[in-house]
Structure 1
Amino acid sequence: MSCAFPALVLVLVALLNSEALGKSVTGLFGSEAARQQHGQVITTFMYQGDNGLLVCRLDNAALATEKESRLLLYQDMDSDLDNLSCWERISKAQFTIYLKEEEHNQSIPRQTIPTTWHALYADRYTCQESAAIPHHADLSFTILLLNADSAGNPREHFSAEEAGLHSFYFLLLLAYFIACCIYFQHLYQALKKGGPMHTVLKVLTTALALQGCAALCKYIHLARYSRDGTGIPLMGCLAKFWDMVSQVSMLYTLLSLCVSWTLGRGRKPQSRPLQWEQSLTSTAVAVGGGVIQGALLLWEQYSESESQHHSGHAQLSLPGLLLMALKVGLALLLASVLYQIVSTERSTLKRDFYLCFAKGCFLWFLCHPVIFFLSAVFNEHQREKVVTIGVILCQSISMVILYQLFLSRSLYWEVSSLSSVSLPLTMSRANHRGHY
């Protein structure tokens, strides 16, 4: 924990001292790319309400004029455009901005509901298949896409499906900070005393700390993104990395516990029930599941578009679907293992222990698939926020359930059958020592 504060200070200093880029999308308008795609795809943005604005800035307005460069705006561009000829496709644009000056401002009409707009580039060579393209340099551009802020001015860089995530991560960090202030001392004492579930508590704490780091990096990225439309890509990548490590560590913990409990039931002494005793089989199962999940998470992140600045929980992709299928499969595996344990367990306290553990496990694994499919009933611009916020909150609740289970001063003490000296947050001897 002592190393975290200097790192946090360095990150904040870098954030405050770094130069604002003041742009959303930068790149090159290319005649060859525009010809191949029947209009070079530049970006998409979901406008909402009034006073939407698109600003296009060029470095070489004279070259743009010579090439008869145009920026085409399409509202809800559908797949039917792919079946049209090049000239027909260009003529279908709702707005055509002729690029003749260094800066062009295009107002977007009022959107009664949030609507996705697509920006494409075309020039005089786009639809002339037989015409030779001169060896000119590509046009360098900067495009700003802005929604109206709370004051009605076009200064909000967030697309409609991203709006509100910045505030959510701020509230999440505030909740983490308050919880840390309240429970840090108790948790530190529990970890210091040790006990049969000491390893579980360490992994849970590590996973929670990684989630907090991911939320902090995401908030820093979105805070900058709200001002300049670019953000800090490094912080966005770090947020995804910490989240992936947290996901893998939690999966490893839950699988290890369930498999080790099943394998060790016949040989575990009654004075030490419910401990985490690793074996070759339990380790192999847990490591295998963690490796598969990590590979799918990496595949999912690399398959995302570079223009996406949000979490990607609601994105429909092959690795994302495989990841949700893996979570459902692991939930079924854990259900089978826990059913075998509970059906043969005579102790009511131990059955309650396992059932409470099952609630935390199922909530962790099934929240993403369930919320993802339930989000289909929401509008397009709400799905990303519903899935992202729902998954993070459900996983946080799952961690709270597991913490309560393993730190309970009554159920944990009775189930473990250990002396209160080695247990965290127990009442019997702590009162005599004045530590509770």
Structure 2
Amino acid sequence: MSCMLVSVVAVVLLSSEVWGKTVTGLFQSDAARQQSGQFITTFMYQGDNGLLVCRLENSALAAEKESRLLLYQDLDSDMDNLSCSQRLARAQFSISLSQDEHNQTIPRQSSPTAWQALYADRYTCQEGSVIPAHADLTFTVLLFNPDSAGNPLEHFSAEEAGLLSFYFLLLLSYFIACCIYVQPLLQALRKGGPMHTVLKVLTTALALQGCSALCNYVHLARYSRDGVGIPLMGSLAECLDMVSQVSMLYMLLSLCLGWTLSRGRKPQSRPLQWERSPASTAVAVGGVITQGVLLLWEQFSEAEREHHSFHAQQSVAGLLLMALRVVLTLLLASVLYQIISTERSTLKRDFYLCFTKGCFLWFLCHPVLFLMSTIFNEHQREKVVTIGVILCQSISMVILYQLFLSRSLYWEVSSLSSVSLPLTMSRSNTRGRY
């Protein structure tokens, strides 16, 4: 608990000051000719006093090459049908790069609008000419949105605004919950019992999710200061979240298949263990491997984006991942329906119904939120999905904790009907403990 307190204090201290987004690189004449304008970055401005700052290390060479920084509002696919000179002429702003630093104010945006920055020079549209062997231009571009006081100091693009505050509140909630419930949970884990393995897996998944939120907060807090952040922390957050997702999937599949497959062939006098039959193991491991491959594929397909959310799912892999979750939900629904429809005990039926709610919330929140996000504006969709998925999965974990840990269900069901519960210990071990 003390370590968690130190971590929360540390990340809070990182958010004391806000600077601008920073993009560094090289202006290259070759790339500008190949692309009819070298792509630099995209930023979604909102409100008044948006600002772009461009700094050069060799302004004399830039002036010799007639270098320009072009700003486009809502650059669309129609630009691909235009000639090179027509494409460059469509820019809303053309900044002549002849000094060490250039400032460009963005006009007021009635609604958040994406702007793209391209680089061009005198050689961009001259396909038949030879580009002289000049050195590339080193640049630094900073992009700012207005902060709450109206000053151009806020780094975050419109679709990212508010995520830093959300992760701070999420960490604060984790910390408060940890202070309240960590002692009873540790006592339950020390005692063991029928749900010992489930509680360990559930606690591990929740801890991984909390560490992922902490890494995301550290990355975004640093990102708000220098516009770069700590990409390693962002990647680590995504990795931890993937491991948490895989752990929960394996646990839920194993429990449901264990309950179903064991009913027809195990005598009721024997307590149930974690089901390790070939059929259940094959389905659980297959589902885990498929989800893991899709998660990795989704991350690699989104790697070219400067900054993205793990829950954005804007690629083919992301869509397949959501389809997999829907299929798994249907599988779990059929399995749990068989159990509930044949169960005579009201107490055990309520137990399975509550478990079903937790499963459905975990698997269906992402596809449902993704569909719901289409009714929101473009700059709000990613935040709706990201925040909604994290909150829904956290609520799902709370439901499962209450189910397996509360006295009203966990202790009553485990003592009155231990033969129908998953992951129970042997009867001899139970007698020895209690």
Shared fold by TM > 0.5?
Answer: yes
For the Cα contact (< 8 Å) 1:271–1:417, is it kept in 2? no
Aligned counterparts, 1:290-305, within 5 A: 290-305=288-303
Deviation, structure 1 residue 397: 0.5
The verdict on how the C-alpha distance between 1:342 and 1:365 changes in structure 2, with shifts beyond 3 A counting, is same
Say which is worse superposed, 346-355 or 398-407, in terms of deviation: 346-355
The aligned counterpart of 2:426 is none
The aligned counterpart of 1:392 is 390
* CA–CA distance in structure 2, aligned partners of residues 22 and 373 of structure 1: 33
Aligned counterparts, 1:342-381, within 5 A: 342-381=340-379
* CA–CA distance in structure 2, aligned partners of residues 416 and 331 of structure 1: 26
Higher normalized contact order (CA 8 Å, seq sep 6+, divided by chain length): 2
For the Cα contact (< 8 Å) 1:173–1:215, is it kept in 2? yes
Tell me the TM-score normalized by structure 2. Answer: 0.91
The aligned counterpart of 2:104 is 106
Say which is worse superposed, 338-347 or 232-241, in terms of deviation: 338-347
The aligned counterpart of 1:43 is 41
SS in 1 for 2:202: helix
The verdict on how the C-alpha distance between 1:201 and 1:312 changes in structure 2, with shifts beyond 3 A counting, is closer
User: Is 1:186 paired with 2:184?
Assistant: yes
Amino acid at match of 1:250: M
Deviation, structure 1 residue 12: 4.7
The verdict on how the C-alpha distance between 1:306 and 1:6 changes in structure 2, with shifts beyond 3 A counting, is farther
For the Cα contact (< 8 Å) 1:272–1:417, is it kept in 2? no
Match of 1:133 among 131, 134, 141: 131
For the Cα contact (< 8 Å) 1:261–1:276, is it kept in 2? no
Tell me the TM-score normalized by structure 1. Answer: 0.90
Aligned-pair identity in percent equals 80
The aligned counterpart of 2:240 is 242
The verdict on how the C-alpha distance between 1:58 and 1:388 changes in structure 2, with shifts beyond 3 A counting, is same
Deviation, structure 1 residue 338: 0.8
* CA–CA distance in structure 2, aligned partners of residues 347 and 98 of structure 1: 78
Deviation, structure 1 residue 400: 0.5
Deviation, structure 1 residue 408: 2.0
Amino acid at match of 2:186: Y
The aligned counterpart of 1:29 is 27
Amino acid at match of 1:37: Q
Amino acid at match of 1:409: R
Segments of 5+ residues of structure 2 without an aligned counterpart are 422-434
The verdict on how the C-alpha distance between 1:80 and 1:226 changes in structure 2, with shifts beyond 3 A counting, is same
For the Cα contact (< 8 Å) 2:19–2:154, is it kept in 1? no
* CA–CA distance in structure 2, aligned partners of residues 120 and 241 of structure 1: 33
User: Is 1:69 paired with 2:64?
Assistant: no
SS in 2 for 1:107: strand
Deviation, structure 1 residue 314: 2.7
Deviation, structure 1 residue 119: 0.4
RMSD: 2.3
* CA–CA distance in structure 1, aligned partners of residues 405 and 5 of structure 2: 30
User: Is 1:200 paired with 2:198?
Assistant: yes
Amino acid at match of 1:302: F
For the Cα contact (< 8 Å) 1:21–1:230, is it kept in 2? no
For the Cα contact (< 8 Å) 1:271–1:418, is it kept in 2? no
* CA–CA distance in structure 2, aligned partners of residues 354 and 273 of structure 1: 17
Amino acid at match of 2:135: A
For the Cα contact (< 8 Å) 1:57–1:142, is it kept in 2? yes
For the Cα contact (< 8 Å) 1:210–1:242, is it kept in 2? yes
SS in 1 for 2:407: coil
For the Cα contact (< 8 Å) 1:22–1:230, is it kept in 2? no
- Tell me the number of residue pairs that the alignment of Structure 1 and Structure 2 aligns: 415
The aligned counterpart of 1:333 is 331
For the Cα contact (< 8 Å) 2:20–2:144, is it kept in 1? no
Say which is worse superposed, 304-313 or 136-145, in terms of deviation: 304-313
SS in 2 for 1:177: helix
Aligned counterparts, 1:283-322, within 5 A: 283-322=281-320
SS in 1 for 2:103: strand
Segments of 5+ residues of structure 1 without an aligned counterpart are 424-436
